Amino acid sequence: MMTSRREFLADAFGTALVTASTWPIRADQAGSTQAESGSSTSKSGRTTRKTPLSWDVFLAPSVPVITSDLPPGQKERPWPPISSTLIYGERDAVLVDTPITVEQARALANWVSAKGKNLTTIYATHGHGDHFFGASTVLEQFPSARFVARPDVIKIMRQQASPESLSTFWNPRFPGQISSHLAIAEELTGNVIDLEGHELVGVPLGFTDSANTTCLYVPSIGLIVAGDAAYNRVHLHLSESPDLQKREEWIAALDKMESLKPSAVIAGHKGVGNEDSPRIIGETRKYIRDFDRVVTSSTTARGLYDEMLTLYPDWINPGALWSSAQAAKR
């Protein structure tokens, strides 16, 4: 039985947060970047109204990857577009995730700067390098911002930014494109980032496309920034979950996000022009279930790859599918 939003928040964060995190979400918020403003009472007894939060997505474009591990029939293997989300109020803003290359991160920083907001915080949803390597470049333009993540996410970050990982995986694929001064996030105290009186809640999800992942949930506007826990018509990275148990953990994480009844969900990877709809939670779940089924019915990595391509012909990044198929059939 699916856990209710109230029960889930109570289990994860305690009763005090539930009170602040179960504000009504309007059905017409889907596709909107605004929500009704809340109110609070000051010490003088006067009621003050909080400015409603808004959000916008920067999509770093696909970039070529230097690799000989090409999918069957493909002559190149581009890295898929990477989402960064800016959540902002009247004055301040919080940025969720950054792309991988210095060039992408500079473009992101310029985009944030053009919004005219005070960037207080950068939050990393998970520890994959393509979602935090750009943070050091963004911080050069916003030196007063804090770069934060949950402690278990920071462990994965340190692995990804290790000399061995950089020399064997990242730098060969993106030669001369990754910052030589990578920033590692500081530990987020508790699970909540305050943005002009609104709570942005870091929700632990466990294993999705990697270990120790999270999403950022904004109750006042019904927004979930999912990181790589949900994909938006992009083939999933299942290379780190070649066994059924890990894929079931991912399904459980999707159920958690769905129980929050979001009106918008932003995937860490999405195709250009794709809507940030809550339906991507169900689409990601269906993809995993289909992968489970085809793993059982196929005998080779190529057979698994071909069948999944038949089922999802319009999804981008077949390179991720090829790696997932190879991992599942080792």
Is residue 265 a part of any domain in this protein? Answer: yes
Residue 327 has a pLDDT of 96
pLDDT (average), residues 38-64: 74
Q: Interhelix angle for 244-259 vs 279-297, to 10°?
A: 160
Is residue 314 a part of any domain in this protein? Answer: yes
Residue 46 has a pLDDT of 47
Is residue 75 a part of any domain in this protein? Answer: yes
Instruction: Encode pLDDT of 242-298 as tens digits.
Output: 899 999 999 999 999 999 999 999 999 999 999 999 999 999 999 999 999 999 999
124: closest CA among 89, 91, 160? Answer: 160
pLDDT at 111 over 60: yes
Is residue 45 a part of any domain in this protein? Answer: no
Instruction: Answer whether 118's CB lies under 8 Å from 92's CB.
Output: yes
The enclosing domain of 142 has a CATH number of: 3.60.15.10
Fill in the amino acid letter for 98: T
Q: What is the pTM of this model?
A: 0.87
Count how many domains the chain has. 1
- The single-letter DSSP state of residue 184 is -
Is residue 35 a part of any domain in this protein? Answer: no
Which residue range forms the structural domain that includes residue 80? 5-26+53-328
Q: How confident is the model at residue 50 (pLDDT cuts 50, 70, 90)?
A: confident
Q: Measured between alpha carbons, how far is residue 288 from residues 47, 78, 234, 314 in Å?
A: 48, 22, 12, 16
Is residue 48 a part of any domain in this protein? Answer: no
For the chain, give the mean pLDDT. Answer: 88
Instruction: Answer whether 212's CB lies under 8 Å from 150's CB.
Output: yes
Residue 248 has a pLDDT of 97
Is residue 122 a part of any domain in this protein? Answer: yes
